[in-house]
Amino acid sequence: MNELQVELKSQLEKFCLAKIEPHMEHDDEVEEFRMDIFTDLGNLGFCGMTIPETYGGAGLSYQDCAVALEEIAKYSVSYSVTVSVSTMVQAIINDFGTEKQKTTFLPALTAGQEIGAFCLSESSAGSDAGALKTTAKKTEGGYILNGTKMWITSGGIAKTYIVMARTGEAGSKGITAFIVRDGTPGLSFGKKEKKMGWRASPTREVIFENCFVPEENILIGEGQGFKVAMAALDKGRITIGAVAVGLSQRALDESVKYSLTRHQFNHAIFEFQGLQFMMADMACEIEASRLLVQEAARLYDSGKPNQKIASFAKLKATDTAMKVTTDAVQILGGVGYTREYPLERFMRDAKVLQIVEGTNQVQRVVIARQLKKEYQT
Ligand code: CAA
């Protein structure tokens, strides 16, 4: 870690211990998201980390951003993931938007006054994102959107929605990306999902019923939406990987601390080799995940293709989070399974990391396709 990253981590550690940690048990229980926490993160510069300063961002690299998201996730996966998805939305506008779109939509997002949401998935188009059915029909001055998006992180609390909708032929080539603002007539929110984890981060259906979106809110052009979404996910898979590393690290920290103080058979349980080996494996897998996340970020920051490594990072870091949090509950034993300790929450928060931003089966598809290309050329 460089000097700046050490400083970011230490600033976030202080903030999270004071502002996030005290609420997490309660907010997980009652499914509460606190906008003031998000805005405070924005005031410190953490809501638009990778966006240029011209648009109110911090102008940091993805490597810096990964360090920051990892630190937030040690205290709350829910807030870390809200920042991660909002960062992906901003990246889409920054990479593919016009100057007017950037100056109109980015400043409130980078400041943390508003949240961004990414609307790709539908009930019958999850892994097969190119099969989406939401339509955008051309009309005078814009498009009329109809359809329902599912499992949308920050649905209902976000103000800016990037929406993938069909303007043309079946499949990935007929998809276009739009910017839709909360409050647009015809945009509403369906049921809030009751989830196993990420309970302080709302997930909702986002519904479009004859929702008029002006032409000026189209991103790049008709038929480019699938590529916009895939390019965004190449970055989202780095940041979700970083979230997973933070969660795993916290689970290991709690496991080591607990096992050094818990005594059975006249020894701290840390002294039993069976547990030492578990914790050694946890530490090793976490460091391997962190290095992959940093490598995917480094490649992106230096303008090199990172698709395969981003999928490596997402796959490895999120499978590790599931394994490490499960083992952490095992190390704590009975109390690990209760809400007296946060380990059971960590285990619940880990599961969906293997599903979002492309399931870990989809990551293997992406990796295998790249391998085929590399070996065929
Ligand atoms: N960057 C740019 N373009 C890309 C690309 C990338 N990374 N990947 C693919 N493309 C392009 C291809 O080059 C191709 O273009 P051409 O036809 O011009 O060559 C086009 O996109 C179609 O590509 P594929 O043929 O590979 O598409 P596919 O239909 O076979 O799908 C897939 C591939 C990898 C399975 C893809 O559908 C996928 O990633 N699915 C998972 C979807 C996903 O990740 N959803 C997550 C939801 S968002 C979320 O979870 C966020 C949240 O709220 C937490």
Give the pLDDT confidence of 282-298 residue by residue, as tens digits: 999 999 999 999 999 99
Provide the β-strand partners of residue 178.
Answer: 163, 218
pLDDT digits (tens, 9 = 90+) for 52-78: 999 999 999 999 999 999 999 999 999
Ligand 1 site, residue 227, Cβ cutoff 6 A? yes
Q: The tokens of 143 are what? A: 């498009």
pLDDT digits (tens, 9 = 90+) for 219-236: 999 999 999 999 999 999
357 catalytically annotated:
yes
Q: The tokens of 78 are what? A: 């829910």
Reduced to 3 states (helix: H, G, I; strand: E, B; else coil), residue 146 is strand
Name every residue whose Cβ is closer than 8 Å to that of residue 272 and which is 6 or more positions away in sequence: none
Spacing, Cα 53 to ligand 1 middle (Å): 30
Q: Which atom of ligand 1 lies at the shortest distance from residue 129's CA?
A: 37
Say if residue 3 is exposed, middle or buried (CB neighbours under 10 Å; 0-12, 13-18, 19+). exposed
Supply the pLDDT for residue 377.
Answer: 77
In angstroms, the CA 255 to CA 146 distance is 49
Ligand 1 site, residue 338, Cβ cutoff 6 A? no
Say if residue 314 is exposed, middle or buried (CB neighbours under 10 Å; 0-12, 13-18, 19+). buried
Rounded mean pLDDT of the chain?
97
ipTM exceeding the 0.90 mark: yes
Does residue 100 carry a pLDDT above 80? yes
Average pLDDT over every residue of 145-174: 97
Spacing, Cα 90 to ligand 1 middle (Å): 19
Supply the pLDDT for residue 367.
Answer: 97
Residue with CA nearest ligand 1 atom 24:
172
Spacing, Cα 266 to ligand 1 middle (Å): 55
Catalytic site residue from 285, 340, 357, 374: 357
pLDDT digits (tens, 9 = 90+) for 319-345: 999 999 999 999 999 999 999 999 999
Ligand 1 site, residue 313, Cβ cutoff 6 A? no
The residue written with tokens 């499978």 in the block is 319
Strands 175-181 and 160-166: antiparallel
On whether the pTM is more than 0.95, the answer is yes
pLDDT digits (tens, 9 = 90+) for 241-250: 999 999 999 9
Average pLDDT over every residue of 335-356: 97
How far apart are the two ends of the chain, measured CA to CA in Å? Answer: 36
Spacing, Cα 127 to ligand 1 middle (Å): 9
Count helices and strands in the chain by DSSP H and E runs: 12, 10
Ligand 1 site, residue 101, Cβ cutoff 6 A? no
pLDDT digits (tens, 9 = 90+) for 273-284: 999 999 999 999
Residue with CA nearest ligand 1 atom 48:
357
Q: Which atom of ligand 1 lies at the shortest distance from residue 151's CA?
A: 53
Spacing, Cα 292 to ligand 1 middle (Å): 21
